[in-house]
Amino acid sequence: MKKIANYFIVVLVLVFGLFYGYTKFTAAQEGEQAPDFETTLVDGSSFQLSKLQGKYVLLDFWGSWCPPCRRENPKLVQLHNSYPDQLTVVTIGLEKDTTSWKKAAEKDGFVWKNQIVHQNKFVMLSPIARKYGVSEIPSKFLISPEGKLLGKLSFEEIHQILANTNYPNH
């Protein structure tokens, strides 16, 4: 019986390893068109990423159960408030249930419309996360107003790009 359990664990690790490698290999690369996706927002409305062109878009993958994510959320809110004419924030919560997500999003001040929840804590099982090669959270991806993927960036890098962009009213 112990042998069967060991084989099962080895097979499981191999399957997840192959899945992870495939995700990294097929994920969008910096400078390419950002992978488009359609989904439903938490308010029930439909969403398509490509319809946001014209402003920078920040995709933020996070979870209410993730301490580093929660520590970064005030910076995300500050970024959203600092660049309202330049930046559209899209959060993708990877959750086991929507109740925890809702409490955390409200407590952390997520007021923007574009909020998505995937009810699965495993990053690799989110189809959107796979398109972007997300292997850990928090992860932030900045997309140009033309729809090009600028990369997985830190808050400092995102702020630097937005601060050096000439937009009216900023």
For 40-51, the pLDDT digits (tens) are 999 999 999 999
Count of domains observed in the chain:
1
| Confidence band, pLDDT 50/70/90 cuts, at residue 123 | low
Question: Which domain CATH number covers 135?
Answer: 3.40.30.10
- d(Cα 155, Cα 74) in Å, to the nearest integer? 11
- d(Cα 43, Cα 32) in Å, to the nearest integer? 30
* Residue 61, SS3 per DSSP: strand
Q: Which of 120, 129, 116, 117 has its CA nearest to residue 88?
A: 116
| Confidence band, pLDDT 50/70/90 cuts, at residue 121 | low
Phi/psi-derived region of residue 85, left when phi > 0, alpha when psi is between -120 and 50, beta in every other case:
alpha
Say if 40 falls within a structural domain: yes
**pLDDT digits over 128-152, tens only?**
998 999 989 999 999 999 999 999 9
Say if 84 falls within a structural domain: yes
pTM of the model: 0.80
Q: Which of 116, 134, 141, 139 has its CA nearest to residue 39?
A: 116
**pLDDT digits over 41-78, tens only?**
999 999 999 999 899 999 999 999 999 999 999 999 99
Asked whether the beta carbons of 40 and 46 are under 8 A apart, the reply is: yes
Q: Which residue has the higher pLDDT, 27 or 23?
A: 27
Say if 168 falls within a structural domain: no
A 10 A CB-CB count for 17 gives: 10
Q: Is 125's pLDDT higher than 70?
A: yes
